């Protein structure tokens, strides 16, 4: 008897949850439009690039700001764009606006433009020695080898053991 009551209650709860779920989804936020807009880095130097990521623009979109020329947002589940900050952008806070091609909704995100060009990271070991550096290095090694051989030959002539 107790098992049948528990089964009846479990079925009633399951039915209530099953019927409530579609109603909850229907009353949820409207679909479409950009969401989860992120910028990397959030502090960027004049002339540097800014990476923008968003979600919800399945057919692509546009990103605009006073700090850079309008760029196109890629299509798909996750959307990407890269913008180059103007060299003459005044340092300070800026906002960018993301708008999907198939929707009128707009999402914004702020970022900061810093003065100057930033640090030049260099080549990071990606470049090898130049031809001139190789020639100078070879000449130094050759000179050291000849000098060493002359020193050893001179000591042998003097009868000093090596």
Q: How confident is the model at residue 29 (pLDDT cuts 50, 70, 90)?
A: very low
Contact (Cβ atoms closer than 8 angstroms) between residue 50 and residue 40: yes
Question: How far is C-alpha 9 from the chain's CA centre?
Answer: 52
What would the DSSP string read from start to end of 1-51?
A: -HHHHHHHHHHHHHHHHHHHHHHHHHTSPPP-S-EEEEEESSEEETT-EEE
| Cα separation, 23 vs 106, whole angstroms | 27
Q: Which fold has domain 35-114?
A: Immunoglobulin-like (2.60.40)
Of 11-25, 39-53, 115-129, minimum mean pLDDT range = 11-25
Residue 69, C-beta contacts closer than 8 angstroms, at least 6 positions apart: 83, 84, 86
pLDDT at res. 134: 84
Helix (H) or strand (E) holding 59: none
Contact (Cβ atoms closer than 8 angstroms) between residue 118 and residue 45: yes
pLDDT at res. 158: 83
Of the ranges 31-35, 108-112, 155-159, the best mean pLDDT one: 108-112
Model pLDDT for residues 53-80, shown as the tens digit of each residue: 999 999 999 999 999 999 999 999 899 9
pTM here?
Answer: 0.55
Model pLDDT for residues 110-131, shown as the tens digit of each residue: 999 998 876 656 555 556 677 8
DSSP state of 58: T
Q: How confident is the model at residue 155 (pLDDT cuts 50, 70, 90)?
A: confident
pLDDT at res. 135: 87
Task: Work out the average pLDDT over 29-37.
Answer: 72
Q: What are the beta bridge partners of residue 30?
A: none
Residue 100, C-beta contacts closer than 8 angstroms, at least 6 positions apart: 32, 33, 34, 56, 57, 58, 59, 60, 61, 73
Q: What angle do CA 7, 26, 31 make, to 5 degrees?
A: 135
């Amino acid at each position: 008897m107790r098992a049948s009551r528990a089964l009846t209650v479990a079925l009633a709860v399951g039915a209530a949850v099953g019927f409530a779920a579609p109603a909850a989804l229907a009353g949820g936020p409207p679909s479409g439009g950009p969401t989860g807009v992120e910028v990397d880095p959030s502090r960027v130097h004049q002339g540097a690039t800014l990476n923008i990521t968003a979600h919800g623009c399945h057919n692509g979109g546009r990103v605009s700001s006073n700090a850079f020329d309008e760029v196109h947002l890629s299509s798909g589940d996750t959307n990407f764009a890269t913008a180059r900050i103007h060299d003459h952008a005044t340092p300070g806070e800026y906002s960018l606006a993301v708008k999907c091609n198939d929707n009128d909704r707009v999402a914004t995100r702020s970022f900061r433009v810093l003065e100057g060009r930033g640090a030049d990271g260099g080549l990071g070991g990606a470049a090898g020695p130049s031809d001139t550096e190789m020639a100078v290095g070879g000449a130094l090694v050759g000179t050291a080898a000849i000098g060493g051989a002359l020193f050893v030959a001179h000591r042998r002539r003097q009868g000093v053991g090596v």
